[in-house]
Amino acid sequence: MSSTPSQPHPSLGVLPNMTHLNGLSSASSRASSEASLQRVKNLPGYTTPVFKGKEEQRAKVQADVAGKGFIPRELVANEVNWFYSQLGIDDTYFQNESPSVISDHIIALFGAKVLAYTKHDFNKLVIDLEKIDEKGNGATFIHTSLPGLTSTEGPGATCESRIDSLYLDNSTPSNCYRLETFRSTGSISATASQQLRCYFITKCNFPSPPPLSTRTDGLTDIRTVSDTAFLEKASPHTLEVYQKIVWQVESRYGPVMEVFEVEGTRERRLVIGYKMGGTSRFFSALSNLYHFYELYSARKYVEQFSNGITIISLYLNPMPDSTGAPIEHSIFQVMKEASLLYCLPDNPFFLDSVNTGHAVQEATYAYCGWVFAQHFCNRLGPAYLHLKNILDESNPSHAEVLNDIKRRFREETFTRESIAQVIHAHAEIIRLLYVNFAMVHYPAADEASQLGPTLSYQRLQTTQPLSDSELYDKIRRTVLNKQDLQVLESFLIFNKHILKTNFYQPTKVALSFRLAPEFLPEIEYPNKPFGMFIIIGNEFRGFHIRFRDVARGGIRIVMSRNKENYSINQRMLFDENYGLAATQSLKNKDIPEGGAKGTILPSLGAPPRRCFEKYVDAIIDLLIPGQTPGIKERLVDLYGKPELLFFGPDEGTADMMDWAALHARDRGAETWWKSFTTGKSAELLGGIPHDTYGMTSLSIRQYVLGIYKQLGLREKDITKVQTGGPDGDLGSNEILLSSDKTVAIIDGSGVLADSAGIDREELIRLAKHRLTIAHFDKTKLSKDGYLVKVEEQDVRLPSGEIVLDGTDFRNGAHFRFKADLFVPCGGRPEAVNVSNVAALTDTEGKPHFKYIVEGANLFFTQQARLHLEKRKVVLFKDSSANKGGVTSSSLEVLAGLALTTQEYLDLMIFKDAKPSDFYQKYVKEIQEKISENAAAEFHCIWREHARLQGAKPRTQISDELSMRLNNLQAELELSDLFDDVPSRRGVMRRAIPTTLVDQVGLDALLERLPESYQRALFSSWVASHYIYKYGVNSSSVDFFHFARDLAR
């Protein structure tokens, strides 16, 4: 990430506003260099107005205290004087509070002293005063506080976390609070060392309309976005500092941090800025952090601005009798670790640092290992393997038993709580494991900067690092419990398979690790992924798995309805991700990109978009070499090669692809931001939308037409049932492309049926307007036709049957209709499975449908498909039928990689809401390629099924074809066939759409496209065209003849 934001192209007017959580600056690159410190004069950053009515108020308070009669009259004057003059409470308090409230506080303080006296221990003197405004205008909290210590009991233990949850975590520009907190300069009594900590919280008041800006450079003027009380109190220097922080937060991603030295003192001021909502529970976590380094705060401020920015300012001092590192060094470690806290402020392993002694870095490592262990400790082991060998997985009932046992093993072996207990119980082992991790991934000091090692590096040196084998032996000798041992061994496995991480980046919003997948057991994961990422944020966790170097797939957000559902999603997240990526591999068989998939699991209540943005930013950290000291620095990269990932839309992320592409551009991915995501908006970013151009439907259509042609059928005579209505991509395009006799359509709004054939003109009207079947004109139904909406109850059908509940009727409607053809274009995954597939046959065992083309992903389970094929249903599965979308996305990626930014802006982005001639030609060529690929695969499967005289189901042939294509492609990528230049050029000329070759030129394309992508493109084209031509049973001689013609 560059230190200055990239300037948007004029046609990308959305660019400046797309950055949602931007930026993280830090002075950490200046870590130990005294000369580079920013110095400020020893003056308050805020002017506290002198309360002119203080003496008059004091007299009223004294009279009030005396009148209430709780304090002996002869002691009243002394107590009031002590409170006003000796405690050192800021005048803000006296100005804000009424005499009645102050007198109550003085009486409470006196009562606390009496109580402490009766206990004969003045260290037990506890003050806990609070006033929360019922109308939500703010609050005051006052409690006893020992400087430099995190309270574990009493009011101080919860006060700041309550302030976070009540006033800071959910801040929005229209509803936010500013905070001032001071430590009293005097002790609460002559015999107790505690001081009072006072918190004053007030609702922000932003003038409306805001004052006019005095700036002429277009940058934000802080005075136009500030609270009126802040402007009254802030010194000119504070305004200047905050102004710069605001600009940095607006232009980057994450927290901005600066440290200031106060002249003539040892005080350091740490100022942190970030976008509202970027983190939570952060204010209270920062206190735990500086206390760990034996620092205390004299004053703290939280300021909020109407442009959505929060700034925290901490005035930090060393404890007088501190034995820790001097503040001159430790302040930079506080700043560095604040970046980790921003990612994980609510870390149970740091909150327990009093007992474990874990610094933030060790505690953050423990948290990441904890997440890793949750997913990879619960492995199935030899008992499951033995059972797997006995049972027949092709038998549906056996497969179901195995799945149930697998799920139970996962649930019962290790829980989140039991793994956490192991981590808490073995703090010393965790520290050694952290050192083992850090010795590999802690970045080497930049010699040119002439900086001394940071405190965290010095701390590493105090623990004798053990070799892997020594550490393993120590764990085995120390830990006798077998389950505890397995948990701690998983940390060692984690360490050994991390190839790179952003853990030590000065700036980050979530933690990301690129893992080598070799540790995955083959029994559970028979196909080894090429690469995997684990991403851990404060409000989410996520994975990304890909099966080849060049791979593409959607990013799915897995939402949870409740706590129980979240626990299930958490346990199954990796397995779901693995399964989706493996399925994607089957579908991506004839394109350059292999299968990939990403999953994001937000915590309950977490905003999905923020989770997605942090996920993307954390992955980009590992894709772009850092080059900006103190912001994005070079990582330790054990992988050692550039990596390209391609993301697509999936459940919950369809409207986020533009942001991800633009953010990659902001981060400096000049060569690949255009291809980083597919599913981008066409007009703004040159995306190629599948629904607008019917890309997925074109491939489904080739299978339907192929069946008609092979069996000599006329389309207008065919009856059809369809799930997925005219409001959806596949459903609408299936209606627009077909001319059959559709007898039933089932969508989210209900069930539409007519045995005489549903009126096609009315269906076309709905499809063109993308309306659900609920909008169907019922006057166009025959006497036997009906429409049942999900919200309806007790509906009488023409047959006399009563539908009690429309939703229940809709959910099972695909089992009640009979037709020649069934095309699922929507519906839940596994809608037809081993337990209900029998409902698709009548009492005589005759199937309801003769032909099925599975448009919707995973509508049928594998066992259900095989069950139907045994009953002579002609069925083509999803990974063959609906691959048109992935072909389109692949060619969208190719355009992004092949065109320069300027060419892309000129050719792919709409001008005046109209596409260029190039764009229209390119889309037309994509449509032709989709139809060509789908028809080729259809004929290959049909030929092989005929050759085997039906002995092997088409579902199995389709899977074997996919695997054969993927395996051949992988072999070709490793072969030297690509190195034969005439063959390479001949293939590339045919594999790249002519529109692109004519526009850019083949030589320029071969220079621009990354070699890894060229190899993948070459191999996929050769493999698919060879197999589709010669079949899955082809010989080496066939390949020789085929390869001989490549250079032509």
| H or E element that contains 39 | strand 38-40
Portion of the chain with pLDDT greater than 90, in percent: 65
- Token pair, residue 118, equals 């009766």
Q: Given pLDDT bands bounded at 50, 70 and 90, which one contains residue 33? A: very low
Q: Which residues pair with 551 in a beta bridge?
A: 594
Q: Which residues pair with 786 in a beta bridge?
A: 753
User: Over the stretch 340-382, which tens digit does the pLDDT of each residue have?
Assistant: 999 999 899 987 655 666 788 999 999 999 999 999 986 665 6
Structure confidence by residue, pLDDT tens digits, 778-816: 999 999 999 999 999 999 999 999 999 999 999 999 999
- Which tokens sit at 866? 């095989």
Is the bond preceding 209 in cis, omega lying within 30 degrees of 0? yes
Q: Which amino acid is at 294?
A: E
865-872 LR contacts (CB < 8 Å, sep 24+): 865/953, 865/955, 866/394, 866/953, 866/955, 866/956, 867/396, 867/834, 867/837, 867/838, 868/837, 868/840, 869/953, 869/954, 869/955, 870/953, 871/841, 871/845, 871/846, 871/847, 872/847
- C-alpha 633/C-alpha 441 separation (Å) is 13
CB count, 10 Å around CB of 990?
14
pLDDT value of position 1: 38
Amino acid at 823: V
Q: Does the predicted TM-score (pTM) go above 0.75?
A: yes
Over residues 154-166, mean pLDDT = 84
**H or E stretch covering 794:** strand 793-796
Which one-letter amino acid corresponds to residue 340?
L
Res. 4 pLDDT band, cuts 50 70 90? very low
Is the pLDDT reported for residue 962 higher than 70? yes
Which position among 336, 589, 597, 674 bears the catalytic label?
Answer: 597
Give 549-595 pLDDT, tens digit per residue: 999 999 999 999 899 989 989 988 998 999 889 988 988 989 999 99
Measured distance between the N- and C-terminal CA atoms of the chain, rounded to whole angstroms: 45
Contact partners, residue 527, CB within 8 Å, separation at least 6: 547, 582, 585
pLDDT of residue 453: 47
Rg from Cα positions in the chain: 34
Q: What is the residue-averaged pLDDT of the chain?
A: 88
Q: What is the pLDDT of residue 611?
A: 97
Instruction: Compute CA distances 695 → 641, 681, 690, 923, whole Å.
Output: 34, 15, 5, 10
In angstroms, the CA 678 to CA 446 distance is 38
Positive or negative: CA dihedral 277, 283, 284, 286: positive
Residue 274 has pLDDT above 90, yes or no: yes
Q: Which strand ranges, in their side-by-side order, compose the sheet holding 786-789?
A: 786-789, 750-753, 741-747, 719-723, 819-824, 849-853, 874-876
Q: Which of 4-8, 432-436, 531-535, 654-658 has the lowest mean pLDDT?
A: 4-8
d(CA 84, CA 57): 10
Longest dimension (CA), the chain: 112
C-alpha distance from residue 438 to each of 443, 465, 468 (Å): 9, 10, 13
Question: Which token pair is 444?
Answer: 């080497």
Q: Cα 992 to chain center, whole Å?
A: 33
**Joined tokens for residue 162:** 């309550």
SS3 24: coil
Q: What is the pLDDT of residue 196?
A: 79
The candidate with the shortest Cα–Cα distance to 60, out of 97, 111, 110, is 97
DSSP string, 614-653: HHHHHHHHHHS---BTTTB-PPP-SS-S----EEEE-TTT
CB 944 within 8 A of CB 958: no
Which has the closest alpha carbon to 142: 86, 83, 191? 83
Residues 486-508 pLDDT 10s? 999 999 999 999 999 999 988 89
Q: Which of 115-124, 362-371, 610-619, 916-925 has the lowest mean pLDDT?
A: 115-124
Residue 5 is predicted with a pLDDT of 39
Compute the average pLDDT of residues 81-104.
84
> Whole-angstrom Cα distance, residue 584 to residue 461?
46
Q: What is the pLDDT of residue 416?
A: 86
Residue 108 pLDDT: 84
Query: Residue 529 in contact with residue 603, Cβ under 8 Å?
Result: no
Q: How confident is the model at residue 37 (pLDDT cuts 50, 70, 90)?
A: low
Best CA proximity match to 896, nearest among 670, 690, 736, 726: 670
What would the two tokens of residue 323 be? 């034995």
Count of beta carbons in the 10 Å neighbourhood of residue 327: 22
Query: Which H or E run contains 401?
Result: helix 396-412
List the beta bridge partners of residue 719. 741
pLDDT at residue 1031 greater than cutoff 70? yes
Given a cut of 90, whether residue 42 has pLDDT beyond it is: no
| Closest among 24, 13, 15, 4 to 662, alpha carbons compared | 15
In 3D, which of 819, 840, 839 has the Cα closest to residue 745?
Answer: 819
Is the per-residue pLDDT at 30 higher than 50? no
Residue 879, pLDDT > 70, answer yes
- Indicate if 778 belongs to the active site: no
| Beta carbons of 1031 and 940 less than 8 angstroms apart | yes
Do residues 1034 and 1026 make contact, with C-beta atoms less than 8 angstroms apart?
A: yes
